[in-house]
Amino acid sequence: MTTPASTRSGGLPYSPIRKFVPFAQEAEACGKKVYYLNIGQPDIPTPVSFWDGLQAIQKKVLEYDFSQGNPLLIDALKDYYNAQFGVDLAHKNIQITNGGSEALIFSFFASCNEGDEILILDPTYTNYISFAHMMKVTLKALPLSIENGFHFDDAYQLAPLLTKKTKAILLTNPCNPTGRIFTQKERESIVKFASDNNLFLIVDEVYRNFVYDGKQETTFLEYAKEYDNIIVIDSLSKRYSVTGARIGALITYNSEVLETSLKLAQARLASGTLDQVASAHMVRCCPQADLDAIVIEYQRRRDVLYSSFQNIPGAFCHKPEGAFYTVVKLPVKDAEHFAQWLLESYSHKGATTFVAPARGFYVTPGKGLDEVRIAYVLNCDAIKSAVKVIEEALKVYKG
């Protein structure tokens, strides 16, 4: 007799980004070319400095690193924040984590008891929903609309969502999935609102450097000396195109949050030593010009994507200002069905396109049903072809 598993497993969603992977594999097995616009896996080469850092490792025993993180990596990040933003961090303010994911889990645990609430803007990064579920935290969403560019007046729009259980606000900036970037005025209103209501402010800045049209990189850590309840989630995965090295960080001046994070980190012993040592070298040595060139390339891709969608009747593509995602409204009833159909039943010139249904990026039920999230992580030609697949598909799709 099979023992019943826990019922809390039930509320956990499959990743909307990854759940159609078997269909994509099947499509490839049938000889179709698949354009992967479903996942933020850039095609940009990992910096040479990462591979150099790896090559230089001369260890006989691949030992546990420190639970807090490799000291060289912590120092490299400390210097990066200082040089780039004038933010003055101590070694103890940085907890290295297994990607940004683990930093989020630590933040949820440290800020909220079971049943506490975190305010977010909808749509949001889908995995927040899973982490909240794991940590028994409720996400309360302010829904924004694609029609007006996911516009957000002011943090005080969040006020009606406040309850006695509200403990934090969680934002991504630049935003996955919308590509929105907060203006300085918005950032200030968010910090003020958090401070007025004594809330933790968790900001996921893993796309920090992907800002277009001459905009400046920013970090909420610039406000953290005055308001120490700010927790920044960082990751090297996207900035350096090194997603396979699972290196993130939780950064804060809040000593209670740091203490809890270190205890959680000690329980799981350490992050990977090789990834940390190679990353430390990369953060120190990767030329800024190389990173800037990558951002210029993404801006080009963004432009191609955006203009390609202008020709598709009934489709509406939000123009992102940063990150490398956008949300697109399609003239279909059920974008999830459409996404699966693209992989299972459609091809154009032997190719099809893999997009993520946007529904899974909304906490608010019923939102995003006719929207998809697109990661523009392929070169411009591939993006053109991938959108052409969608254009042709919509002409024949019956829904």
Among positions 244-283, residues that touch its own copies (CB under 8 A) are 244-246, 254, 256-257, 259-260, 262-264, 266-275
- φ and ψ at residue 98, rounded to 5 degrees: -75, 85
Report residue 292 as tokens.
Answer: 């800037």
For residue 373, the cross-strand partners are 327, 356
Residue closer to its own copies (CB basis): 202 or 383: 202
Min dist. Cβ of residue 229 to its own copies (A): 4
Rounded to whole angstroms, the Cα distance separating 160 from 157 reads 7
Give the footprint of its own copies on residues 301-330 (CB under 8 A).
none
Q: Does 9 bind its own copies (CB under 8 A)?
A: yes
User: What distance lies between CA 229 and its chain's CA centroid?
Assistant: 21
**Surface-to-core class of residue 126, CB atoms within 10 Å of its CB (0-12 exposed, 13-18 middle, 19+ buried):** buried
Whichever of 274 and 369 has its CB closer to its own copies, that residue is 274
120 or 264, CB closer to its own copies?
264
Interacting stretch for its own copies, rule CB under 8 A, among 173-181, 194-202, 299-307, 355-363?
194-202
Which ranges of the chain does DSSP label H, i.e. alpha helix? Answer: 21-29, 48-55, 71-85, 99-111, 127-134, 184-196, 255-267, 273-285, 288-310, 335-345, 380-396
Contact residue for its own copies among 45, 56, 79, 91 (CB under 8 A): 45
Other C-beta atoms within 10 Å of 51: how many? 14
**Torsion 352-389-298-153 (CA) sign:** negative
Applying CB under 8 A, does 136 fall inside the site for its own copies? yes
351 to 370: interface string for its own copies, x by CB under 8 A: --------------------
User: Per rule CB under 8 A, is residue 18 in the interface with its own copies?
Assistant: yes
Candidates 230, 273, 266; CA nearest to 68 is: 266
Interface region with its own copies, contact rule CB under 8 A, candidates 130-138, 181-189, 321-329, 389-397: 130-138
- Binding residue (CB under 8 A) for its own copies from 23, 50, 325, 354: 50
Name the residue among 161, 165, 156, 159 with its Cα closest to residue 117.
165
Window 163-192: residues binding its own copies (CB under 8 A): 167
Name the burial class of residue 29, with classes exposed (0-12), middle (13-18) and buried (19+) by CB atoms within 10 angstroms of its CB: exposed
Residue with smaller CB distance to its own copies, 82 or 255:
255
Pick the closer one to its own copies by CB: 18 or 215: 18
**Nearest CB to its own copies, comparing residues 108 and 306:** 108
Q: Is 242 in the site for its own copies (CB under 8 A)?
A: yes
- Which residues from 52-81 bind its own copies, rule CB under 8 A? 54, 59-67
